[in-house]
Structures are given as C-alpha cells and as structure tokens.
Amino acid sequence: SSPHLVGPPLMPRAARPLPQRRCKGKSDRVSGGRERHRGRERPTGTGWGSRRNAPGTSLLMLVVIFLQCSIDSEEDMFGDFDSFCGNDSLLAQVEDIEHKYQQDKNTDAKAAGDIVLGNLESGICQKKEDNFSTSENKIALKADKEDAFHVNENDPVDSNQELTESGLDDLPSSQLLYFGKIDQLSSGSRISPVSERSNQCVNSSDKIRSPSSFCPDTEHRNRPADFSSDSKHDLFKTESLKDHLKSAMAGNAKAQTLQVSKTKQLKEAVLSEEICVARKTIESSSVDIGPFYGLPSKVKDLFRQLRGIEKLYEWQHDCLMLESLQQRKNLIYSLPTSGGKTLVAEIIILQELLCRQKDVLMILPYVAIVQEKLHMLGEGSRGATLEITLAKILYTSKNTQIIGMSATLNNVGDLQKFLQAEYYTNNFRPVELKEYIKIRDTIYAVDSKTENGFTFSRLLNFKYSSNLEKADPDHIIALVTEVIPKYSCLVFCPTKKNCENVASMVCKYLKKEFRAHREKEKRDLIKNLKNIGNGSVCPVLLQTIPFGIAYHHSGLTNDERKSIEEAYSAGVLCLLACTATLAAGVNLPARRVILRAPYVASDFLKKNQYKQMIGRAGRAGIDSAGESILIVQEKDKHLVIFTNPLENCYSNLLLELNKGMQSLLLSLVGLKIAVTHEEVDNFMWSTLLGVQQQLLSKEKSLSEIIKDGLENLIEKGLLKGRISEKEHNSKCILTITPLGKATYKGSIDLAYCNLLYRELKKGLEGLILESNLHLLYLTTPYDMTSDFRPDWMIYLRQFNQLSTAEQKVADIVGVPESFITKKASGQAIRKNVDSAVVNRLYLSFVLYTLLKETNIWSVAEKFNMSRGYVQNLLNSAASFTSCVLHFCEELEEFWVYKALLTELTKQLTYCVKTELIPLMEVAGVLEARAKQLYNAGYKTVAHLANANPGTLVKMIEHLSLRQAKQIVSSAKMLLSEKAEALQEEVEELLKVPTDIPGTC
C-alpha cells in the first residue's frame, strides 16, 4: 500500500521558490513518529490505503501532502518539480506509468492497481511489505478524556500519542475535509479511513477537484471484480492520469483551510458521542444514569471548574433520581432557601436541551423548565399571568413537562392538582440559620416550641451616647458592627428613602478604620459609578461607599445596581441597606440579615415574605453560619406570631379581572383553544381557580363567572357570539373581533384597549409630526399615571420650552395651557380636566426630553425624579410602544402608525442618537461603547462582524480582547439572523402556489 511521504518542500528549478513550509500529511500526526531511511525521512506506521483499492485511490492520498504549498495562478506548476526521493520528476513517473498502463489493455484491474502502486513506491521511497489487509490499516477514533486520535494497537508506535491542536490546524484542506464527518461517529465506533473515503467520494467541488474515477466507491459499486477492456478505457477516457493529478493538486492547494480549530472539532465530536449515549440511556428504562445524571461527563467537569461543585447534596441526588422525573412527569419540589434547588433545575434543563433536544421555557426570576417561585401564583397580576401561562400549557400540550420549585409553600395539594404534579420536599439547609427578634435592647431567639414563639437570648452590648441614641433608636449600628467589615450584612428597610437614610446614618458613626478596608477597590467602584452616570454620582453613595456601605433599591439604574451587587459579592461592600425586592431574584447572601421593621411599605410583613428575606442569611459555600434579626417595636409585638403557618397560595384570576379572567377568556377564543361556552368551561375547570373555585366563589358558580366575563367581552366589542343558558345555544361558536384580536396580539390591558383605540383614531385626524412628542404621548404607558403627581412648576417650564406646534399637542389631548398655568400658580381650577391625561402628558414630556438628551441623570434632575424611576419609565414606554405597534398591525385603519412606531420603538429601546442604534443591537455594546466604535469608524453591524478583534483592542480604549471577540461574534450572529430572515422571505416569495388555476 502507499505510505505517507513527508520530506522537504518541493523546490522548483525556477528562480522563485515556494515558501519554506512543510507540506504535512496526516501520517506524521497520527502515526506518532518518523524514522530515517537511506538518508531520507520516512513516517512510521501504516499507510492509508490497501493494495486492493482501485487505481487512483492511492494516488489521491498522495495529493493531500501538497495542500499547503502556495499556488498563485492557473499555470502549470508541477512539471519541473523535484520528486521526493530521486532526481526524476514525480509527474514524469506518473506519465510513464500511465503510458505503460494504457499499452496493456488486457491487464487485470487488480494487477493494474499493483503496477501503479508498485512503481510509485519504488520511485518515491522504500516499498512496503505486500498484502496489508484492510483491517491492519485501520486508524481508530477513540473518544477518551484526552480527545485524541490513536492508531491501531497493531501499529508500531506509541498509541497514546496525542493529536495536538497546532498539528490539526496545519493539516491540509483535503484532510481537514476528511475529518468533517467526525460528528457522525457513533459511540465506541472504529472507522477505517478507506471506508470513510469511500463514503465521502471526493467530487469536483470547490474544495477538492478530483475526477470521479478517484472515488473507490464508483469503481466498486455494482460491477464485477474484473475490469473489461471497455471499463478500463472508461477509467481514463476523460483526461490523462497526469492531468487528473495536476488538477487535484492545484485545486487542493488553492482550497481554503478551515478556520475552526480541529482540536475543538474533535472535542465537540467526543461530546456529541457522549450526548448520543446519554440520550439513549435517558430514554431507556435502565437504572444506569450514565456519568452525570444522564448527561455527558463534560457537564460534571464544567460544574466543578466554573462553580466549584464537586458533589451533589443527598437530597439533590434523590430528587434527580425520582421515578417521576425519569418518566417526565410534572413535579413540584420545595426546600428552604439556600438548599440548592436551582442546581437541580439546571441539570433538568441540560437533560432536556442536550439529551432530549427539547425546547425549554424559563420563567424568571429563577431558572427551570417552566417554573417560578410558585407561591407568587397568589401575588397580584404577576400571579394571574403565571397561572394563565401554566393553564394553557397544561391544556394544549400533554407532552410538556412542568417543574416548579419554591422555598415557601403551604397548600401544596391545590398546586399539585392544578399542575397534575407529584411533590418532593426536604428540610435540608446546608448552613444553619438562627432566627432572632429584637425588642428594645433585648434579643430573643425564635423558638416555635414556646407559647409566644421566642425565648430570651441576650442583651445588646453596645454603649450609646445620648446623641447616638436619638439618631439610632433601633440600635442598627450596634447590630451591624458586630459583623462588618469581616462579614457581610443586609438591612431590609420598608421604603427606598429609609434605605438611603440608614446607609447615611450608619457611616456617620463608624470608626475611620472602616475606610481603610479595600480602599483602592472602593475608589474603583466610585469611578465606575461616575462613568455610568456620565460624570455624576449619587451624593449618598459618594458618602457611604468609602465605608463599605451602599443602598440598593429601584431608584438606582440597572447599571448602578449591577455594579453595587458585584462589589458586594466581591466583599468590597460589606453592608447593603435594601428594600424587599432584593429578597427575590437577586442572590446576595449575608452572614447577618436585619429586618428594619416588620413592614413592606405600609403593609405588615407576611410570613412568606419574611422567609424570603431571612433566607439570604448563611449561604452555602460562602458562610459557615447565618442569622436573622427582626427589629420589632413594643406596639407591634403582638402582631409577630412565628408559630403561624405559611400563607396559602390562591388564584388571582378574579382579583385581577382585566389582567386575569377576561384577558384569559379573550385569548382562549382568539387562539381557538376554546370557542364555545362549553369548551371555555372545560378549560377554566383546569385552572387553579377551577381547583379552588369552591373557596373563592361564594356568591356565584364558576360557570356563572365565566358567562359574565364572556358577555362583558361581547359588550366591549372584543368578541362576537351569543351566550345563553339554554342548552341549544351552549354550542354557539364565539369569534374574536378585529379589535379583540388586536388587543390580545398586542397584549394590551383590557382596561385600556378601548381608550387606546379612541386616542389612536383621534390621532389620525391631526397627528403632529414636527417632533415625536405626539407619538410619545400615544405610547406612554397608562399604568404609570395612577400613582404619579407632577411638579407643576416643572410642568409649566417644560411646556414653555416647546415649539408652537408641539404646544398644540397638549391642546389636542385635552390639557390646555391655561390649566397648567393656573396649577403652577396655585389658582383654583373650575374646568374639570382628566388627571390621567394630565399625568400622561407630563410623563411624555420626560420621555421627549430623554430622547433628545439621552442622559438619564440630567433628565432625572430636570424633573426632580429618581434616575431609577426615569429608567423604568423608559423601559415601560419601549415595551408599551411595541405592544401598540402590534395592536396597529391588526387594524388596517391604523396602517400609518406602523412605520412610525417601528422607529419609535428602536429609539425608546436604546435611547441613543439615531446613528448609534445599529451598533446598540449588538450584544455587549452599550451607549458609551457604541460612541467609541462609531468614532473609530465602525458605524454598522457589518463593520463589527468583519472587524479584527486585535485591531479593535488597539483602537478602542479599555476594551479587552475577550470583549472584542464577543462583540465580533455577536455582530456575526446578528447578521446571520437577519440574512436567514431575508432568506425565509425569499423562499416564501418563490414558493409555487398550490392553487394555481388550471392545474391539477
């Protein structure tokens, strides 16, 4: 058979040499070594082919060793090249062999093959032993932990030789293409290169130009072993063997080398094999769950490397081994906070994605297949939305698995019945949590065994001066200084203002030594916050951060919150004064959690909320202990009852009528999930409301409630049909009106859908387009106006800064200048003006200023608002504008709004100058970075997609190579998505209609 030949680069006799670069074949990579023979270098190990291969097969293998030699033109570059071993030209020898072959018309095909191979071998290097069997020339592909290729155990080389990344990257294009099918390997398979080549059957593609006669597959398929005279003639009838060889060599040399690292591809191939095995295992009834709960061992390695997780807790193992999970049944599992619930959800998600190749829906704030903090089913419109989502999934898809997890559940039976799920619970908590309550200067330990729920623990040991006692009557300073700065501490406060006050008060009375703790990192944090605020930093944070203290609430911008959270997690900040929102969805653990008061705003603290807050204390892997202290005034002592059970979780479909029951009924008909009264009844019985309807519906039955809801939707003009108690009308088909369809397609709150329609209709009569102020008013969220009170002096000042055309907008919507003037001057108002419209126009002024200045800080200062509120307004307006756009798309009369709202949605989403919007679409690019890129000449997504990461790093200040690579990769992905969308559009346009007149 023909061995791989690795020698010095071929040198032309012409003056211009080729680059001095080794033309490497696969042999010196796979075989693992070379030996010297007759003054030349020869690889050890077996060759690729077998003497039984058809003529041309071994010649094709010789072609691949020239792939990395440069070719700049179509000229004949091979005739004057030296051969590997002697002075004769290689191609000259090939020509002689071909001539001899053509003279002997009656030669047996096998013999012809032997002559070709034999002459080549004798003219090029030492002839190898005859009669190598195919099995002796196999090269095993072994999916082991080193992700390396090994030669057959019979080969005289080290079988543990690893195939290095650099070696793979240097492989010629034809050999790289040979590896292209690597992912098709099944577990444990060993593939012969000969058979692999037969399957690939090299063709005349732009990658490798090779005649069909070079494919052994075409030589052996459906023909006898012996050639006839005609068949031997056909083998070479198109062009000579020499021309074939030259053509293939030229084509291979010009072929582009694959850019993807071959080692990476091989590792991915090994991972694919493990996933294939895992998929088969997880779908079988076997109790063997594989290397890591049905997942590839690579997943286990990543958990260890990235998360430091060496071993699962016993409960996690038990939960993942539940028969209900193995059979893909619905499951609810409940454990105390910090028990490790999220890891179980992550493993289940990976099983779905990698092994079963199923889609996964994640409902925030926690990650799982379809899961949420289940007790939030009973919390307002959020709970109603979650219940609607789960009910639709349960009703329409019997194959979808639902996994729910929660730390706080009481009436699990109702939830089990609703979700048709099994239940798993455990009281495990890796770090013990000790609960305390403080009344005056006494601290009590929570003890459910006692009558009142707590017992005496200790007196507070801290000397207070009279001034300090007045400033800190709750002894917060005493409580926090017991743990900071060595350990972390969270102080939950009832209001945002209270958070800032507590942070300021504590740092005023701390010793100067606190400033020295990680001083440089604190300065870096302030610098980072200044960059976020375009040069501005909150005065409170500027005062508190040097002491390692900060506040955390919705008044901060998203970037500010993120920076503060990261600093706290890194230990730069040791104390956060925060609101209850931090208890859910943000993993910021502490050694001690202090509850400033048993209130959230003005509402008394629920036990579920209390459990969520104190659950931040003593997180696994971070603290060895955790404790919570609830500060209670003497007057509230009787309200704090620790022995009470957790609150039950109830449906909110009735309490949130517009966002609950009626919204659900409208979408059921619109999506054609249920289109008759009877079908709607059947669906509603499967909801949590249906499970609990005996508890919730004292006056009316569920059927009567449904009937009232459908009739209300018909009255609003959202549905058409008749609802009657008579049996013969119960089958009446309900249909959705255009307005109803626009409402549910746009996710418009039913309380505002008719108002929105009227305002958009009125806008058509005289839309002011001198600026986007009128459009902004139409897309300012309705639900942000109810609790808002404008500053009338600011209102008048902003109104006076508008142009004459823009001032007409106020008059059109129903807020005359005289009204604003009188309000600002404190005069009595006789004419009634809709306060919701007044407030909405004021908020549209905020958005209008924001789009002009693109600076949240400066706008917040102008309107005397918190920057967090301004950002929330911006985000809500962007979301609502998108909803209004979808609303208008369903109503032909509003066609004019489509283009206008499309652009406005982009402006609100990114809130930057128009020219920066394309760059802002790229993941990882925020406004400051977009400005840098634009000024450097990267003005489009295409510029970024084709950028060199190294060049980006040099041109863009403070950009790391990792960030540059991420930006380039994201831009490429964005372009690819846009191209795919256009391609789908093209395919749709070119699709031949099936109902062409006159066709069958």
Query: How much is the average pLDDT of 183-194?
Result: 41
Q: Which residues of 519-543 are buried (b: 16+ CB within 10 A; e: fewer)?
A: eeebeebeebbeebbeebbbebbee
What does the pLDDT read at residue 812?
Answer: 93
Lowest mean pLDDT among 239-243, 662-666, 991-995: 239-243
**pLDDT: which is higher, 25 or 850:** 850
What does the pLDDT read at residue 79?
Answer: 40
What does the pLDDT read at residue 805?
Answer: 92
**pLDDT: which is higher, 320 or 206:** 320
Strands (E), 16-69: 34-37, 40-43
Confidence bin at 522 (pLDDT 50/70/90): very high
User: Is 796 exposed, middle or buried (CB count within 10 Å of its CB: 0-12, 13-18, 19+)?
Assistant: middle
Angstrom distance (rounded) from CA 836 to CA 843 = 11
Our CA angle for 472, 473, 475, nearest 5°, is 70
Residue with tokens 């203002």: 497
β-bridge pairing 603-604 and 592-595: unpaired
40 has pLDDT over 90:
no
Instruction: For residue range 108-152, list pLDDT tens digits in order.
Output: 444 444 433 344 344 434 433 444 333 333 333 333 333 333 334
Lowest mean pLDDT among 277-291, 302-316, 504-518, 896-910: 277-291
SS (HEC) of 638-700: HHCCCCCCCCCCCCCCCCCCCCCHHHHHHHHHHCCCCCCHHHHHHHHCCCHHHHHHHHHCCCC
What does the pLDDT read at residue 820?
Answer: 93
Percent of the chain whose pLDDT exceeds 90: 39
What does the pLDDT read at residue 112?
Answer: 41
Angstrom distance (rounded) from CA 952 to CA 964 = 6
Instruction: For residue range 881-924, list pLDDT tens digits in order.
Output: 999 999 999 999 999 999 999 999 999 999 988 899 999 999 88
- pTM value is 0.67
Top-ranked range on mean pLDDT: pick from 155-164, 600-609, 834-843: 834-843
Top-ranked range on mean pLDDT: pick from 58-67, 171-180, 903-912: 903-912
Mean per-residue pLDDT over the chain, rounded: 75
Instruction: For residue range 600-635, list pLDDT tens digits in order.
Output: 878 888 888 888 888 888 877 777 789 999 999 988
Confidence bin at 716 (pLDDT 50/70/90): very high
